[in-house]
Amino acid sequence: MTTLKDLSHALGLSVTQVSRALNGHSDVSAATRERVVDAAKRLNYMPNVSARRLVSGRSGTVGLVFRNRSEVPPDTLFVETTCGLSEFFAEHDLQFMLHVGRLADDEIKVYRRLVDSRTLDGFVILNPAVDDRRIAFLREREVPFVVHGRAAPDSAHPYFDIDNEEVAHRLTRHLIERGHRRIAFINGLRSLTFVEARQRGYARALAEAGIVYDETLHVAVEMTESAGLVESVRLVAHTTERPTAVICGNTRIAKGVYHAVEATGLSIPEDVSVVAHDDLLFEFDSERFNPPLTVTASALSESWKPMATFLARAIDGGYPLAQMQEIGRTVFIERASVAAA
C-alpha cells in the first residue's frame, strides 16, 4: 500500500508538503496540489483514516439521527434522500451514517452522546420544527450542521430550503383567480416550520382577496395518501358548506384527495378543484394524475448536493454564512385539475 512517505519520495517533497497538498491547505500552490493529487491517483494512495483522525481530530463521518426506530420514515422517499445525500457527501470525502437511538432515549440525549464521543463531525437535520431542540443544542455546542429547511425566515445556520410561504400563496392565488372563495388546505403537521410558512402564504392570499380565513378549512395531518383521503372525505361530505377547491401539501395527499372525490361520486375539477406542491417524486407523478394535477414544483433531489457542500464547508470553517444557504427554485405548472368556480 502506498504511504505518504512513498509519495514524498516519488515527488521529492516533504511528507508535510504532501499532506497539506492532499488536504487542500491554502499555503500550497495550485500547481503543487495538482501534481500531488495526480501522483496519489497514479500510485493508488489511500489515506489512513485512523491516522488522519488522530491528526485532525475529525472522524470523517457525518450523520442523520433519529431518536428511535419508530421515527424512521418507512418509504422510498427516505431511501432516495439518504442515498442522494450519501452520494454527494462522498464527493467531499465524508462518510454518511444513519444513526437510530434506543426506544427510551430522549432526543437530545442521543445527540449529546454522539457529540461528546466525537463520533460525527456534523449533522443533517430534516423537517425542522418551530423552536427545534436539535438546532438549539448543536448551536450551543458549536457543532456543524445543515438543515433541510429553516428554523426561522432569518435563520443564521446552513440550510437548503424553498420559499414555502410563496408556494402556498401562489397556489391559493391561482384558485382565487379562477373564482374560488371557499378553499381548503390540507397541510402538514403544525409543529414544522415549513408548514407554518405555508399557512402564512395561504392566509396572506386570502386576506389580499378580502376572503375571511376559516380555521376549519386549514387541516394539519401527516403528509400521506391515507390522511389526504380521510380529511378530504370529511371536507367534501358537506353538501352546502363543501369547499370548491383543495390545496394539498404534497402529491401524496393529493392522491388521497383524488380517491376520496371519486369515492363520494364527485369529480375533479367539475365539483372540486385540486392543486398541490410537487417534490417531483417518481411514484407520485403529478402529470399522470387523472386529470393531470396543477402544481408548484421543486425537485427534492436538487437539495442533496448543496446540503452536502454546505455541511462540508461548515466543518472546514472559514466560509461566510451566505455561502452555506440557498433557496431553491420553484415553478408553477398549470394543468387540468382546476375549473372556474
Residue 41's CATH number: 1.10.260.40
Backbone angles phi, psi at 182, to 5 degrees: -105, 95
Is 123 within 8 Å of 138 (Cβ atoms)?
Answer: yes
For residue 220, list its beta bridge partners: 187
Cell numbers for 297: 414544483
CB 224 within 8 A of CB 253: yes
Residue 273 pLDDT: 98
Select the more confidently predicted residue: 84 or 27. Answer: 84
Same domain, 70 and 144: yes
pLDDT tens sequence across 296-319: 999 999 999 999 999 999 998 989
* pLDDT at site 207: 98
Same domain, yes or no, for 213 and 306? no
Q: Is the pLDDT of residue 51 over 70?
A: no
How far is 301 from 282, CA to CA, in rounded Å? 11
pLDDT at 48 over 80: no
> 155 and 94 share a domain?
yes
Is the pLDDT score of 275 beyond 70? yes
Question: pLDDT tier at 330 (50, 70, 90 boundaries)?
Answer: very high
The boundaries of the domain holding residue 200 are 164-299
Same domain? For 269 and 155 the reply is no
How many Å is the maximal CA-CA distance in the chain? 85
How many structural domains comprise the chain? 3
Residue 283's nearest CA partner among 127, 80, 73, 88 is 80
CATH code, domain with 239:
3.40.50.2300
Are residue 287 and residue 192 in the same domain, yes or no?
Answer: yes
Pair 89, 23 in one domain: no
Alpha helices in the chain (DSSP H): 4-11, 15-22, 30-42, 49-56, 76-90, 107-116, 133-140, 164-177, 193-208, 225-236, 251-263, 304-316
Q: Is residue 131 part of a domain?
A: yes
Residues 291/335, Cβ–Cβ less than 8 Å: yes
Task: Look up residue 207 and give its amino acid.
Answer: A
pLDDT at 308: 97
Clarify whether residues 72 and 181 are in a common domain. Answer: no
Q: Tell me the percentage of the chain whose pLDDT exceeds 90.
A: 70
Contact between 121 and 144 (Cβ < 8 Å): yes
- Mean pLDDT, residues 66-70: 83
Q: Is the model's pLDDT at 15 over the cut of 80?
A: yes
In a domain, 73, yes or no: yes
**Residues 252 and 217 reside in one and the same domain:** yes
What's residue 62's pLDDT?
97
Rounded CA-CA distance 313/4 in Å is: 25
Q: Can you give the pLDDT at residue 57?
A: 66
129 DSSP assignment: B
pTM for this model (two decimals): 0.84
Please check whether residue 340 lies inside any domain of the structure. Answer: no
Residue 177's pLDDT band (boundaries 50, 70, 90)?
very high
Q: How confident is the model at residue 50 (pLDDT cuts 50, 70, 90)?
A: low
User: Does a structural domain hold residue 16?
Assistant: yes
Rounded distance, CA 245 to CA 168, Å?
Answer: 14
pLDDT digits (tens, 9 = 90+) for 206-239: 999 999 999 999 999 999 999 999 999 999 876 6
**Least confident window among 101-110, 145-154, 179-188, 328-337:** 101-110
Query: DSSP state, 192?
Result: B
The pLDDT of residue 5 is 86
- Asked if residue 68 belongs to a domain, the reply is yes
Walk across the sheet containing 95-100 and list its strands: 95-100, 61-66, 122-125, 145-148, 159-161, 325-327
Q: pLDDT-based confidence at 33, cuts 50/70/90?
A: confident
Flag whether pLDDT at 24 surpasses 90: no
- Whether residues 101 and 182 fall in one domain: no
> Does residue 138 share a domain with residue 86?
yes
Query: Residue 25: is its pLDDT beyond 80?
Result: no
Q: Is residue 341 part of a domain?
A: no
**Is residue 56 in some structural domain?**
no
Per-residue confidence (pLDDT) for residue 56, from 0 to 100: 58
Answer yes or no: is 313 within a domain: yes
Q: What is the mean pLDDT of residues 281-288?
A: 91
DSSP state of 284: G
* pLDDT, mean over the chain: 91
Same domain, 81 and 176: no
Write out pLDDT tens, residues 117-167: 988 999 999 999 999 999 999 999 999 999 999 988 889 999 999 999 999
Give me the pLDDT at residue 46, please.
75
Which pLDDT does position 53 carry in this prediction?
Answer: 57
Shared domain for 152 and 241, answered yes or no, is no
Say how many C-beta atoms besides its own lie within 10 A of residue 279's C-beta: 22
